[in-house]
């Protein structure tokens, strides 16, 4: 913190956080700005390390939401590699959710544990579809087209580039003399084979010839080091999972605990309930050292109840998400910035971190959420369009998109999403969310560095070097804010141009 005279109280413009949020009106992230501070450091000097819960630290304040169009194992692995964490959704069976968590906990950097495979009877057209939707070729061919059978060949671009008939079975064009590595090989040994043999993909097989994993030359080139990875005490990637408050979730928690999950999020749209309190108490008394995040809450009273029941962190937000219509449909909720500030101020008395969940659509929203007390930001919209999100890309009007749906949309509720809304089993379903689509944002491995740099630049403008310093400045009234009118908001965005090119959120 600088000692410049700029910090002297007589030069403080604007409002403190307490003054800003004492107004009897709900505020969103766009309703205020942080006033600039004094810069005496570079963006690279900003430290983004933060706390997810009382005990779990992250190098980046990013959490991917437990939604079935956002977080499964691929997203959770990528988030953990980049210093954040992914929360696996529970629109699935216990066994399926446990399998997703296990993939993250067993992940070895550089080894693809669940490669895309085809069978001998698949056609070249199937390969074309994989290349169009997933962006790669070089597909292992197994005896029955699953990852649990014997490797019989591999198909690469050079095998099919000049084939005009795309209906030909891959067994007629695949390479059958495949260079492989044995299970247990190290990443360096695999890399040495790839370099020596000048190949793009190296299948790893067990003693029976069954495919175990795959090593890709392109992955080795881009995944050299992840020094900021979120890892547990056994050097495994961290991973979270969501559960409901239903009785069946007690068995789900037990299974997830055995799989090594690091943190459980009790996923309720309105978390201040006897059901969640009982679930919190059950988990804390039966699974030692398992961190639990309660929510969602938006008031001090709600926060007090869940903290009293043992919550190690709180998830804040009711209705601000881009696919959520709770506030319109139920007339219940709270403006997100006000919710984050009030709950964070209360939770800080107990040293409990809060996660701002919803209403984030750019870097500025993340910065504002952290500035008013959040320790991390949970995002669905921001991560849904990435290559690691579940689902396939499709095109609409020439734009590459992915499906994104609220867990309270009719579509998601039919798949089990209504478990978080206390209306499971109802024949008539009242939607509190919608289904939509979002644009392609590329890979998380490129997107997180983009978000991180933008956040560092924002911290530099504010004059704070870390999340901890920012929160101290908030508590001491040194971090200053100012409300802005609708016309100020309009002027603070693009205006007065005949035409312009909008910056893309897709990081290259």
Q: How far apart are CA 85 and CA 323, in angstroms?
A: 22
269 known member of a binding site:
yes
Q: How far apart are CA 75 and CA 89, in angstroms?
A: 11
435 known member of a binding site:
no
User: Comparing C-alpha atoms, which of 336, 435, 393 is closest to residue 28?
Assistant: 336
458 known member of a binding site:
no
Angle in degrees, CA 103, 106, 107, rounded to 5: 80
69, 435 contact by CB (below 8 A): no
405 known member of a binding site:
yes
Specify whether 420 is catalytic: yes
361 known member of a binding site:
no
Q: How far apart are CA 280 and CA 269, in angstroms?
A: 15
CB atoms under 10 Å from CB of 189, counted, come to 14
489 known member of a binding site:
no
Q: Which of 238, 315, 324, 480 is catalytic?
A: 324
3-state secondary structure 380-416: CHHHHCECCCCCCCEEECCEEEEEEECCCCHHHHHCC
333 known member of a binding site:
no
450, 507 contact by CB (below 8 A): yes
377 known member of a binding site:
no
Q: How far apart are CA 306 and CA 273, in angstroms?
A: 9
> What are the φ and ψ backbone dihedral angles of 386, each rounded to 5 degrees?
-80, 165
437, 402 contact by CB (below 8 A): yes
268 known member of a binding site:
yes
135 known member of a binding site:
no
Give the DSSP H/E element, type plus range, for residue 116: none
CB atoms under 10 Å from CB of 472, counted, come to 14
Specify whether 377 is catalytic: no
294 known member of a binding site:
no
373 known member of a binding site:
no
407 known member of a binding site:
yes
Q: Which of 60, 420, 465, 480 is catalytic?
A: 420
374 known member of a binding site:
no
473 known member of a binding site:
no
The tokens describing 52, both together, are 């997810």
153-162 contact pairs (CB < 8 A, 24+):
153/120, 153/178, 154/178, 154/201, 154/203, 155/118, 155/127, 156/200, 156/201, 160/124, 160/127
Q: Prior bond to 296 cis, omega within 30? A: yes
404 known member of a binding site:
yes
Residue recorded with tokens 């504010």: 462
The tokens describing 405, both together, are 């749906």
Beta-bridge mates of residue 481? 15, 34
486 known member of a binding site:
yes
454 known member of a binding site:
no
Q: Return binding residues.
A: 267-269, 317-319, 321-322, 324, 357-359, 380-381, 404-408, 432, 486-487
Q: Return binding residues for K(+).
A: 319, 321, 324, 486-487
Catalytic residues, by residue number, are 324, 420
Q: Return binding residues for NAD(+).
A: 267-269, 317-319
């Amino acid at each position: 913190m600088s000692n410049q005279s700029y910090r002297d109280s007589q030069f403080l413009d604007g409002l403190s956080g307490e003054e800003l949020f004492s107004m009897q009106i709900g505020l969103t992230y766009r309703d205020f700005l942080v006033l600039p501070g004094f810069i005496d450091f570079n963006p690279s000097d900003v430290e983004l390390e933060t706390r997810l819960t009382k005990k779990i630290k992250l190098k980046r304040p990013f959490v991917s939401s437990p939604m079935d169009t956002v977080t499964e194992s691929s997203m959770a692995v990528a988030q953990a590699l980049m210093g954040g964490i992914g929360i696996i959704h529970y629109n699935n069976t216990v066994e399926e959710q446990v399998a997703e968590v296990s993939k993250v906990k067993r992940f070895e950097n550089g080894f693809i544990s669940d490669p895309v495979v085809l069978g001998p009877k698949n056609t070249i057209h199937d390969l074309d579809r994989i290349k169009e939707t997933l962006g790669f070729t070089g597909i292992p061919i197994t005896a029955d087209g699953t990852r649990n059978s014997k490797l019989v060949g591999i198909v690469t671009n050079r095998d099919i580039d000049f084939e005009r008939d795309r209906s030909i079975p891959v067994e007629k064009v695949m390479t059958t003399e495949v260079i492989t590595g044995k299970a247990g090989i190290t990443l360096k040994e695999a890399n040495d084979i790839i370099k020596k043999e000048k190949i793009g993909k190296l299948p790893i097989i067990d003693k029976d010839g069954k495919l175990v994993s795959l090593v890709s030359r392109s992955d080795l080139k881009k995944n050299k080091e992840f020094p900021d990875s979120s890892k547990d005490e056994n050097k495994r990637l961290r991973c979270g999972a969501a559960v409901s408050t239903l009785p069946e979730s007690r068995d789900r928690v037990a299974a997830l605990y055995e799989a090594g999950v690091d943190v459980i999020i009790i996923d309720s749209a309105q978390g201040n309930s006897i059901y969640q309190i009982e679930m919190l108490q059950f988990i804390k008394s039966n699974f030692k050292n398992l961190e639990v995040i309660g929510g969602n809450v938006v008031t001090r009273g709600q926060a007090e109840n869940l903290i009293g029941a043992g919550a190690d962190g709180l998830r804040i937000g009711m209705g601000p998400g881009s696919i959520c219509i709770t506030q319109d449909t139920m007339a219940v909720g709270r403006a997100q910035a006000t919710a984050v500030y009030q709950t964070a101020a209360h939770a800080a008395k107990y040293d409990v971190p809060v996660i701002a969940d919803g209403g984030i659509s750019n870097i500025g929203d993340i910065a504002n959420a952290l500035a008013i007390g959040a320790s991390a930001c949970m995002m669905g919209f921001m991560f849904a369009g990435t290559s690691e999100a579940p689902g396939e890309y499709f095109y609409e009007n020439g734009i590459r998109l992915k499906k994104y749906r609220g867990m309270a949309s009719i579509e998601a509720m039919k798949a089990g999403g209504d478990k978080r809304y206390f209306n499971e089993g109802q024949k008539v379903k009242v939607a509190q969310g919608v289904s939509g689509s979002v644009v392609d944002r590329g890979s998380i491995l490129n997107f997180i560095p983009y978000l991180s740099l933008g956040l560092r630049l924002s911290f530099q403008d504010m004059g704070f070097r870390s999340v901890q310093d920012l929160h101290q400045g908030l508590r001491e009234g040194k971090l200053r804010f100012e409300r802005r009118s609708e016309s100020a908001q309009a002027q603070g965005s693009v205006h007065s141009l005949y035409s312009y090119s909008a910056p893309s959120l897709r990081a290259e």
